[in-house]
Amino acid sequence: MLKIDGLNVNYGAIHALHDISIHVKKGEIVTLIGANGAGKTSILRAISGLIPIKSGSVLFEGKPIHTTAAYKLSKLGIAHVPEGRRIFANMSVMENLELGAYIRKDKRDIAKDYEMVFDKFPRLKERIKQMAGTLSGGEQQMLAMGRALMVRPRILLLDEPSMGLAPLVVRNIFSIIEEINKSGTTVLLVEQNAHMALSIAHKAYVLETGKIVLEGSAKELLTNDSVRSAYLGE
């Protein structure tokens, strides 16, 4: 579904991503793990057209998207939940969700999808008229994910969904990511909580200073000695 080949990204004189190649099959959860500054967020931002690439290609279902304007990608079925959530703080929960469905015209299906989001995130329904900026961190993460689901994505790019959240909330968020995947949405997940990410993913890539240093099935990497010592605290 998503194929990244030989991706290079520069920030000024800094070569941030070095020949990155990642393949995501339809129906998979693929996770990118690594320390802060390893290049994980840059990969998602390059896929979404939020930063220019120096060389390489990004293909979605066989078609190049690395020259496509960022705002056009949601029409293809690509939704990005950014690091830090980026909800619209001065708008209500419902208004944030409505913006997720902004490009859609199928009113009956939109109504069904609001119910689907509220079914997955009942807390949002309780706070439907509340200003998004007054929600807790966990609720804001739920809203950011709900807003992305209103795009009806075929692939969901998730950047650090557990950041700053209590362990109980993290477990809830990850169980919902699994639900979303089982309902047919492919997921590319960037996550510092390597243990949680590997526990739900099918495949994983390990990044260090802008390079992929390991890749394999999530089960393999969970038992890999270097991954266990560097990222799992074992």
Going along the chain, which residue ranges are E strands? Answer: 2-11, 14-24, 29-34, 55-60, 63-64, 78-81, 155-159, 186-190, 203-208, 211-217
- Cα separation, 120 vs 164, in Å, equals 21
Better-predicted residue by pLDDT, 229 or 97 = 97
pLDDT in tens, 87-112: 999 999 999 999 998 888 888 899 99
- Cα separation, 164 vs 170, in Å, equals 9
pLDDT of 144 above 90: yes
Question: Which CATH class for the 28-50+76-231 domain?
Answer: alpha beta
pLDDT of 36 above 90: no
Give the residue extent of every domain in the chain.
28-50+76-231
Q: Using a pLDDT cut of 90, give the percent of the chain over it.
A: 75
The two tokens of residue 81 are: 């939940």
**Confidence band, pLDDT 50/70/90 cuts, at residue 154:** very high
- Cα separation, 182 vs 54, in Å, equals 35
The two tokens of residue 188 are: 């590319």
Specify the pLDDT at position 103: 82
DSSP 131: B
pLDDT of 190 above 60: yes
pTM listed for this prediction: 0.93
pLDDT of 233 above 70: no
- Cα separation, 143 vs 135, in Å, equals 9
Specify the pLDDT at position 234: 52
**Confidence band, pLDDT 50/70/90 cuts, at residue 4:** very high
